[in-house]
Structure 1
Amino acid sequence: MTDNDTFIPRIEEEAARLAALATDLSVPVPTCPGWTFGELVTHVGRTHRWATHVLRDQVQERIWSRQVPSGLAEGQNGDAAWLLAGAADLLDVLRTTDPALEVWTWGPDRRAGWWPPRMLFELVIHRADAELALGLDPVIPAATAVDGIDEFLHNLPYATWMASSLAELGAEGATIHLHASDVDGEWTITQGPAGAVTCERGHTKGDAAVRGPASELLLLLYGRRPLESAAVFGDRDLLTRWLAAAAF
């Protein structure tokens, strides 16, 4: 991952792309079951306001997005203008915040620099949700997708809400290998005890392996693509169960 100057224009672009898609807030979003565009926009906008609050107030203790004021009435959904207003505030804060500043995060890096990539890929994946809902094929540049896979796997061991689902797999010691076919990128995930996971870059032989374009691997990790979108080798059942348990 790189510094804020790299992420800021990408966050701005992705926010604008999502807002442009959000013209009918009643459209259902199949990749986020039970959500419409209204719920999708509200989720993303609340997430932006959450990050802004953490960075602006230099929050040191755990706080979640629903604890941060959104400017919406109870039960009200945001719209495209509300989304863009929150993104603008976030971008202003990112431009003036030292990435080395110590703040709370739910990931391994307790510093402000953790937040820009998290906000970028929150937008990339939910922009893809919106496009898929409209019958469009999401385009994610390979380099961006590689960054997204790195970010997902970097944070995955700290996503404690997944631990119970991963523990129920009964797959301790199992390995999953991801191999990008269109750019340099290979990763190995090892399932540990009690739902713990470790992730590392590099080529190894896994119990299950999946190979495909980096963008498809990223969407697969987030549960936005079926396994049929990539080539699968080895234990397909393990891969299917693991992806279902680990999807954000």
Structure 2
Amino acid sequence: MIPTPEHVATAAERFATVLADADPAAVVPACPGWTVHDLVAHLGNVHTWAAAIVTSGGPVEEPTTDPGKVPLDQWYAARAAHLVQVLADSDPEAPCWNFARVGEVAGFWRRRQLHEVLMHLVDLDQAHGRTTDLEPTTCADAVSETFEVFGPRLHARGVRVDLEAPVSFVATDTGDTWTLRPSGDGPPALDRDDLVANRVTGTAEQLWLKIWKRADDVTVDGDADRVGRLLSSRLSA
């Protein structure tokens, strides 16, 4: 899929709707030390940051604004609306900086912000003991983005994954496969065609949530120790 501003708008509207009835003091299980208030402040500031980057084309300092006493859903919705408008007004092929220094065009931020909203929607739901309904194709694209973007980014920051031999990730619902291979001193190489014996299998949603350490509903085949060490590594932001 190719995310559009409309995709981001729809996801942001879902987040704001759930947020309207959320407990600001609820603990966010996947983000130690964070409450829902902290989660919303983070996501709203990320939207403002991304909008400023797309507008300028270059890096900008990430804001640290706090919602204060403004209703969280209203505070968030205003920042999401601004982001969506900036994305809609931008040429997705225009040169634009991003933190991973890969695919440096404005369209990068459509994809990144869509997945940012949906992952934090999962966090918001988990803070209230609920599950999130996610679209399989979107989740498959989110898995691709994780390996394509966060792999090189983390490697550049000195984070090394424990990958001694190739490991395949298989999405049972979309038919997508991703195989990570050791590549010497570089980040793991990504192969979309081949399959190996060491595998992690699940729906695209299960794979994405596992990689981002939000859930554990996957099946491991092959060398369980090797696969387990990879999954315990830092694969995402």
Q: TM-score, normalised by structure 2?
A: 0.89
Any idea what SS the aligned residue of 1:188 has?
Answer: strand
Once residues 101 and 180 of structure 1 are traced to their aligned partners in structure 2, the CA distance between those partners, rounded to angstroms, is: 32
Distance verdict in 2 for CA 1:26–1:143, change over 3 Å: same
Tell me the number of residue pairs that the alignment of Structure 1 and Structure 2 aligns: 233
**Within-5 A mapping of 1:53-68:** 53-59=52-58, 62-63=59-60, 67-68=61-62
Q: Which residue of 2 aligns with 1:247?
A: 236
Once residues 238 and 77 of structure 1 are traced to their aligned partners in structure 2, the CA distance between those partners, rounded to angstroms, is: 48
Native 8 Å contact 1:188 1:204 kept in 2: yes
Native 8 Å contact 2:151 2:236 kept in 1: no
Alpha-carbon distance, 1:81 to partner:
1.3
2:195 pairs with 1:204? yes
Q: Which residue of 2 aligns with 1:224?
A: 214
Once residues 166 and 213 of structure 1 are traced to their aligned partners in structure 2, the CA distance between those partners, rounded to angstroms, is: 26
Native 8 Å contact 2:169 2:179 kept in 1: yes
Once residues 17 and 155 of structure 2 are traced to their aligned partners in structure 1, the CA distance between those partners, rounded to angstroms, is: 32
2:112 pairs with 1:118? yes
2:127 pairs with 1:133? yes
**Within-5 A mapping of 1:142-157:** 142-157=136-151
Unaligned segments of structure 2, at least 5 residues: none
Q: Which residue of 2 aligns with 1:50?
A: 49
Letter in 2 for 1:37: V
**Within-5 A mapping of 1:1-248:** 1-2=1-2, 6-22=3-19, 23-59=22-58, 62-63=59-60, 67-69=61-63, 71-72=65-66, 79-107=72-100, 108-160=102-154, 164-166=158-160, 169=162, 171-172=163-164, 174-194=165-185, 196-206=187-197, 208-226=198-216, 229-245=217-233, 246-248=235-237
Native 8 Å contact 1:15 1:84 kept in 2: yes
The more displaced of 77-86 and 6-15 is 77-86
Unaligned segments of structure 1, at least 5 residues: none
Once residues 185 and 42 of structure 1 are traced to their aligned partners in structure 2, the CA distance between those partners, rounded to angstroms, is: 34
Alpha-carbon distance, 1:142 to partner:
1.1
Once residues 58 and 215 of structure 1 are traced to their aligned partners in structure 2, the CA distance between those partners, rounded to angstroms, is: 32
Once residues 182 and 71 of structure 2 are traced to their aligned partners in structure 1, the CA distance between those partners, rounded to angstroms, is: 39
Any idea what SS the aligned residue of 2:160 has?
Answer: helix
Distance verdict in 2 for CA 1:98–1:52, change over 3 Å: same
Native 8 Å contact 2:154 2:160 kept in 1: no
Once residues 160 and 108 of structure 2 are traced to their aligned partners in structure 1, the CA distance between those partners, rounded to angstroms, is: 24
Q: Tell me the C-alpha RMSD between the 2 structures.
A: 2.3
Any idea what SS the aligned residue of 2:4 has?
Answer: helix
Letter in 1 for 2:4: F
Any idea what SS the aligned residue of 1:166 has?
Answer: coil
